[in-house]
Amino acid sequence: MADASDETCTRGLMVSAGYRWLNGMPYMGPGHNSVLLRENGEMYLVSHIRKLQFLSEDPGAGLLQVRRLFLTPDDWIVSEAQPYAEEVFWKVRDAVIPGLYERIELRPSMPQGIAHAHPLRLFSDGRLECCSIIGTWKRVDDFSLEFTYGPVHEFVHMEKGLDRDVNKTTVLLSGLTSQGICTWAKKTV
């Protein structure tokens, strides 16, 4: 925070940003946040966010968004890929993991824009493809995966939750790359 030499404002860990899933409502400008810590140790990020608007549109009111936070094995924070919906989260069975996901990278940038989803496919043989990126994935434990592509390793927290855009159960992936980029992904079950 004290490094004034970051003229591009691209350093730091971005755990939330403007975003758009392939078939969802685009959101912009999350901010003015707080972190809540429950007695059971669960953490939540609470912030305002707005639906995407254009200069000619009425800005409307901001929305409140709550996301669960998780710690990576080396104690960095990542936020859940979907807003919290008071659901109970479940462990994901091995057979459900492979498939087609939507993946968003939360790259710090100035000015902050909207991160768009790209297709991510996890194959049952442990391969992964995301656009032109080819790599591997493996299950580490009940709630985490590891992605490897080129020199990049990515820790991924994994749970089943609710996709509010389509009101269906989804596999939620919340990751952090070895380059310090947070990621979100989801797959409707």
The answer for residues whose C-beta is within 8 angstroms of residue 86's C-beta and 6 or more apart is none
Mean pLDDT throughout 58-62?
Answer: 67
pLDDT of amino acid 6: 65
pLDDT of amino acid 7: 66
CATH numbers and ranges of domains, the chain: 18-188 (2.40.128.10)
**In b/e form, how buried is each residue of 135-157, taking b as 16+ CB within 10 angstroms?**
bebeeeeeebbebebeeeebbbb
Q: How much is the pTM?
A: 0.88
pLDDT of amino acid 57: 63
Which tens digits make up the pLDDT trace of 81-112? 999 877 777 889 999 999 999 999 998 876 67
